[in-house]
Amino acid sequence: MNKAFVKESDSDDDDVDDVAAPALPAGSKNYLTPAGYARLNAEFNQLWTVERPKLVETIAWAASNGDRSENGDYIYGKKRLREVDRRIRFLSKRLEHAEVVDPATREPTDQVFFGATVTIADANGIEATYAIVGIDEADAARGRIAWISPVARALLKAREGDTVSVQTPEGRRELEIVEVRYVAME
C-alpha cells in the first residue's frame, strides 16, 4: 500500500513509559541521593528546554516542505519527538515521587540503610564495596546497587560484623559486613 494512504500514528507506544527502567515497588517512594536527583533533573531540563524545542522546530520546517510521506526529516523528527516526550513523562513522574535522602547528613551508625556504602566479604575473603542507591542510580559496574536488589535487601538493617545470607544466580552466599560508611555520593 502506498504510504500516502497510511495514517501516521502519533501514539506508537505513547502509553508505555521507559520500559528499560525498573518499576518501583507498589506504594514505595522513589528514594534518590542528591547526586542522583540532580542527574535526573538535569536530563529532564535538557530534554524539555533544549532538545524538544529543536525537534519541534525541525518538524515544523520539514512539514512546511510539503509531502510528508517521503520526508525523512519529518518522519524521523516525529519518531524522535515521541521518544523524547516518553522520556520526559517518565522523568517527571520519577522526580515528582522522589524522596531525596542525603547519606552525608545521616547520624553515624554501623547499621545499613539507604545511602550506605558497605564493604562486604564473602566466604573466600574476597571483599567488594557497594553503595546502596535509588533504582534510577543503580550501576553495578560502579559498585552502586539499587535498594530493591536482592543483595541490598539482605544488607538493609544489618550491622557491621553481621553475616547475611543472599540468594544469587550462583546459589546461596554468606556475606559478612566489614564496614558501613555514609558519605556524599558523586
Give the tens place of pLDDT for each residue, 172-185.
999 999 999 998 87
- Rounded Cα gap, residues 3 and 128, in angstroms: 56
Tell me what pLDDT residue 39 has: 96
Tell me what pLDDT residue 72 has: 85
- pLDDT, mean over the chain: 87
Confidence band of 153 (pLDDT split at 50, 70, 90)? very high
- Rounded Cα gap, residues 91 and 69, in angstroms: 32
Own/partner contacts of 75-78, CB < 8 Å, gap of 24 or more, are: 75/8, 78/8, 78/10
- Rounded Cα gap, residues 133 and 36, in angstroms: 8
Instruction: Indicate the helix (H) or strand (E) that contains 53.
Output: helix 52-64
Confidence band of 13 (pLDDT split at 50, 70, 90)? very low
- Rounded Cα gap, residues 131 and 112, in angstroms: 10
Q: pTM for the full model? A: 0.79
Nine-digit cell string for 37:
536527583
What domains does the chain contain, in order, with CATH numbers? 29-100 (1.10.287.180), 103-181 (3.10.50.30)
Please give the average per-residue pLDDT across 159-163, as a whole number.
94
Contact 161, 176 (CB under 8 A): yes
Please give the average per-residue pLDDT across 14-31, as a whole number.
67
- Rounded Cα gap, residues 19 and 22, in angstroms: 8
> Picking from 5-9, 25-29, 136-140, which range would have the lowest pLDDT averaged per residue?
5-9
Q: The cell 517512594 sits on which residue? A: 29
- Rounded Cα gap, residues 185 and 115, in angstroms: 8
Amino acid at 184: A
Q: Is the pLDDT of residue 37 over 80?
A: yes
